[in-house]
């Protein structure tokens, strides 16, 4: 399956298994969503389970918070991550605090799906990577898969989770490749990273849409420079898999962090700080960050310059080893 097919199959599986699961958002019903992630679900489960909403992100998420507090399991779609900001107050002031505010009396099992990231020549506000906003908010879990198998398994785990989950889907990977994906229900654990390439010279930490470029850069570094890079797909941005981060740095002694969000106060800064706190004496060189620039995501002609592509990642690998 492609990633978009895996997400669709995950939603179908959840709807079929649990009557409490609802799917809603802008154009998710008859149109099947802007990327067709919900295509066919309304026909299969009816307009009471899969339905369209007005164009109001705050209303979508606010409704989901109330449904979750009443015991349902809503899965809402925000068409692009850059559209999520009107719902920010609902997410951080309500969704993230329901369980704490009610001392556990009310659940908050809801999933907020948000396609994110650049690489498809989209208009303004369609390519943002603002995951750090939500990683910073206690009470939320934040997930960012990079492949079809993980996307379905993490989505089903998110739907089962008692906490609200911001589920980030890298747009440019939706139809970029196919992976084997089991039919039926399975889960990938939230909070567990995955080593997707072994290597002993340095560790590269990456997630979401950056993973394929990170893998390509690691392969080029091996062929051209003999540098063997361990690549760790974090998969979950909160809670981070601290054990895997520390063990990997202890193993290789060097680290590089790659993300397309702006550099300042990005999730990479938190990973770098964890390395300094937990694995400082294993470091043989400073941690290197390769990230987007501290500017709003640019329009078409500058998009490729903004994104940390293979060339910038490869340069970062060489800097980390040369230091």
Which positions are annotated as active-site residues? 126
Number of neighbouring beta carbons within 10 Å of residue 310: 16
């Amino acid at each position: 399956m492609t990633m978009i097919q895996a997400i669709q199959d995950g939603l179908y599986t959840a709807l079929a298994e649990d009557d409490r699961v609802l799917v809603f958002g802008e154009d998710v019903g008859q149109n099947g969503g802007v990327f067709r992630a919900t295509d066919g679900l309304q026909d299969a489960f009816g307009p009471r389970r899969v339905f369209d909403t007005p164009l109001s992100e705050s209303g979508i998420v606010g409704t989901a918070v109330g449904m979750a507090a009443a015991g349902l399991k809503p899965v809402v779609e925000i068409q692009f991550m850059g559209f999520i900001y009107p719902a920010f107050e609902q997410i951080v002031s309500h969704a993230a605090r329901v369980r704490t505010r009610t001392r556990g009396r009310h659940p908050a099992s809801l999933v907020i799906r948000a396609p994110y990231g650049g690489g498809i020549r989209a208009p303004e506000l369609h390519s943002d990577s603002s995951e750090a906003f939500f990683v910073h908010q206690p009470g939320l879990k934040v997930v960012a898969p990079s492949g079809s198998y993980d996307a379905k398994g993490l989505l089903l785990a998110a739907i089962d989770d008692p906490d609200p989950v911001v589920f980030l889907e890298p747009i440019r990977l939706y139809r970029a490749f196919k992976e084997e994906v089991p039919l039926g229900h399975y889960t990938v654990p939230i909070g567990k990273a995955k080593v997707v390439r072994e290597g002993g010279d340095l560790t590269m930490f990456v997630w979401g849409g950056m993973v394929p470029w990170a893998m390509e850069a690691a392969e080029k570094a091996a062929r051209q420079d003999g540098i063997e890079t361990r690549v760790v797909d974090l998969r979950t941005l909160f809670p981070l898999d601290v054990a895997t981060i520390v063990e990997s740095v202890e193993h290789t002694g060097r680290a590089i962090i790659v993300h397309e969000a702006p550099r300042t106060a990005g999730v990479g800064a938190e990973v770098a700080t964890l390395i300094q706190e937990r694995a400082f004496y294993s470091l043989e060189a400073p941690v290197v960050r390769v990230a987007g620039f501290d500017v709003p995501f640019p329009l078409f002609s500058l998009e490729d310059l903004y994104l940390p592509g293979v060339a910038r990642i490869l340069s970062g690998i060489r800097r980390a080893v040369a230091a």
